[in-house]
Chain A
Amino acid sequence: MIESQQTSPAGAGEVKTRSVEGEGDRAGTRQSGAACRSDHPHPPLRGALSRAAGEGYRQDPRDRGGPAQPLLLVENLRKHFPVRGGLLNRQVATVQAVDDVSFIIRKGETLGIVGESGCGKSTTARLLMRLIEPDAGTTVFDGETVGSRTGISVNAMRRQMQMVFQDSYSSLNPRMTMVDSISYAPRMHGTPRKAATERAEHLLDQVGLNPRTYARRYPHELSGGQRQRANIARALALEPRLVILDEAVSALDKSIEAQVLNLLADLKQRFNLTYLFISHDLNVVEYVADRVLVMYLGRIVETGPVEQIYRAPRHPYTRALFASKPTLDPDRRTTEMPLTGDPPNPINPPSGCRFRTRCAFAQAVCADAAPALSIPFGTPPSDGPGHLVACHLPEAQLAAGIGHA
Chain B
Amino acid sequence: MSDATIDFIRRELSAQADAPAAPTPGYWKSVRQRLARDPVTIAVSLVLLAIVFISVGAPLVTHYDPYAGSVLARLKPIGTPGHWLGTDETGRDLWTRLCYGGRLSLLAGILPVTISLVVGGFLGILAGYAGGLVGTLIMRTMDVFYAFPSILLAIAICGLLGNGLSNSVIALAVVFIPPMVRISETVTTQARQLDFVEAARASGTTTLQVIRHHVLANVLGPILVYATSLISVSIILSAGLSFLGLGVTPPQAEWGLMLNSLRQAIYVQPYVAALPGLMIFVTSMCFNLMSDGFRSAMDVRLNK
Contact = CB atoms under 8 A, between A and B. Distances in A.
B14 interface: no
Nearest to A220: B301
A129 B199 CA distance: 10
B218 interface: yes
A174 B199 contact: no
Interface string B13-49: 0000001011010000000000000000000000000
B196 interface: yes
A173 B196 contact: yes
Contacts, number: 80
A188 B196 contact: no
A51 to B, nearest CB: 26
A80 interface: no
A167 B198 CA distance: 12
Interface string A217-240: 110110000000001001001100
Contact of A172 (B196, B201, B205): B196
A215 interface: yes
A171 B196 contact: yes
A171 B301 CA distance: 15
B204 interface: yes
B28 to A, nearest CB: 13
B21 A185 contact: no
Query: Which of B19, B24, B217, B218 has the most chain A CB within a 10 Å cutoff?
Result: B24
A184 B213 contact: yes
A213 B201 CA distance: 28
Contact of B199 (A163, A189, A212): A163
B201 A174 contact: no
B202 A175 contact: no
A159 B204 contact: yes
Given A167-B195, A173-B196, A216-B24, A221 B202 contact: no
A131 interface: yes
B20 to A, nearest CB: 8
A177 B24 CA distance: 10
Most buried by B among A173, A184, A218, A237: A173
B2 interface: no
What class of interface size applies to chain A in its complex with B?
35 or more
B5 interface: no
A175 B21 contact: no
Interface in B173-203: 194-196, 198-203
A175 B196 CA distance: 11
A158 interface: yes
Interface in B141-194: 194
Contact of B203 (A156, A158, A172, A213): A158
B203 A170 contact: no
B301 A174 contact: yes
A162 interface: yes
Contact of A170 (B22, B194, B201): B194
Interface residues of B, number: 24
Interface string B288-304: 00000000000011010
A379 interface: no
Given A165-B198, A213-B22, A173 B203 contact: no
A165 B301 CA distance: 21
B209 interface: yes
A351 interface: no
Given A173-B196, A188-B209, A215-B24, A162 B203 contact: yes
B202 A173 contact: no
Nearest to A186: B203
B218 A173 contact: yes
A218 B19 CA distance: 21
A115 to B, nearest CB: 21
Contact of B300 (A170, A174, A181, A184): A174
Contacts of A220: 300-301, 303
Nearest to A159: B204
A218 B25 CA distance: 12
Contacts of A345: none
B195 A170 contact: yes
Contacts of A231: 199
B205 A129 contact: no
Contact of A158 (B204, B209, B214, B300): B204
A212 to B, nearest CB: 4
A283 interface: no
Contacts of B301: 174, 218, 220
A363 interface: no
B195 A185 contact: no
Given A158-B204, A174-B218, A234 B300 contact: no
Contact of A218 (B21, B200, B300): B300
Interface string A190-217: 0000000000000000000000110111
Interface string B63-79: 00000000000000000
A126 B217 CA distance: 25
Contact of B200 (A126, A174, A185): A185
Contacts of B198: 126, 131, 165, 171
Contacts of B205: 184-185, 188-189
Contacts of A126: 198
Contacts of A117: none
A155 interface: yes
24 contacts: A126-B198, A131-B198, A155-B204, A158-B202, A159-B203, A170-B196, A171-B194, A171-B196, A173-B218, A174-B218, A175-B217, A175-B218, A184-B203, A184-B213, A185-B204, A188-B209, A189-B204, A212-B19, A218-B300, A220-B300, A220-B301, A231-B199, A237-B203, A238-B203
CB-CB nearest 3 A-B residue pairs: A216-B24, A171-B195, A185-B203
Given A171-B198, A175-B218, 4 more contacts: A131-B202, A162-B203, A174-B218, A188-B205
